[in-house]
Amino acid sequence: MKNLVYVSKSGIEGKGLFAGKYFDFNEIVFQPKGKILHAKKINWDDMGKEEYDGFLQVGGWEYFDGRPDPEFKYLNHSCNPNMGYRKIKGKVSFVAIKPISKGSEITFDYSTTMSEEMDEEPMPCRCKSKNCRKMIGDFRFLPKEVQNKYLALKIVPSYVLEKPTQKVPMIHKKSF
């Protein structure tokens, strides 16, 4: 089916992804094009914001490179998301965690896939939801009730729950 999602002006930041149809709970909303790369194979230093926004952590040392998908970089964070990440049949997938109306911005909580063990400040949050945490960081720093909600929805990958043996070699200290 065409136009499941589309890019438009976002109330969160710049542009965002929006639902091109109604999505039921647990329905696949978005399966972006791209490939999975090992963190050591990514040259973070030479990236501008446009490229940097095209990555998503999907394993302890693995990142999904969604830059080939023109819509992926517009997937905004929210502390009150309407979809979550799952790997379905080997594909990076986002599923509705509540019904999503046609025309609604589709968002996910970046923290549900973050386990980077970095010694730096979390990203500032701009979602403006009533339960906004003001910062986006590793899953382990979320309030316990939020962690439990996401675990019950099955949108937290197993690597996020494991204690990393060493820090992921990335450079996130850029100021865009």
Residue from 118, 85, 84, 91 nearest 33 by CA: 91
> Is the residue at 96 inside a domain?
yes
Could you read off the pLDDT of 76-121 as tens digits, one per residue? 999 999 999 999 998 999 999 999 999 999 999 999 988 766 545 6
Q: Is residue 114 part of a domain?
A: yes
Domain around 129:
5-161
- Cβ neighbors of 130 (< 8 A, separation 6 or more) are 80
Task: Please give the pLDDT value at position 172.
Answer: 44
- Residue 102: closest CA among 10, 26, 6: 6
**13 within a domain of the structure (yes/no):** yes
Q: Give a yes or no: residue 113 inside a domain.
A: yes
Q: Which residue has the higher pLDDT, 123 or 176?
A: 123
Tell me the pTM.
0.84
Is the pLDDT score of 176 beyond 50?
A: no
**166 domain residue, yes or no:** no
Q: Is residue 61 part of a domain?
A: yes
Q: Which residue has the higher pLDDT, 128 or 171?
A: 128
Q: Which residue has the higher pLDDT, 133 or 52?
A: 133
Count of structural domains, the chain = 1
29 within domain boundaries: yes
Q: What is the mean pLDDT of residues 64-74?
A: 88
Note the pLDDT of residue 51: 59
d(CA 115, CA 137): 8
Instruction: Please give the average per-residue pLDDT across 55-59, as a whole number.
Output: 85
Residues 51-63 have a mean pLDDT of 79
d(CA 72, CA 2): 16
Chain segment 136-174, per-residue pLDDT in tens: 988 888 999 999 999 999 999 998 888 654 455 444 443
Q: Is the pLDDT of residue 41 over 90?
A: no
CATH number of 136's domain = 2.170.270.10
Q: Are 162 and 36 in contact (CB under 8 A)?
A: no
Confidence (pLDDT) at 167:
53
Average pLDDT of the chain, as a whole number = 85
Residue 95 lies in a domain: yes
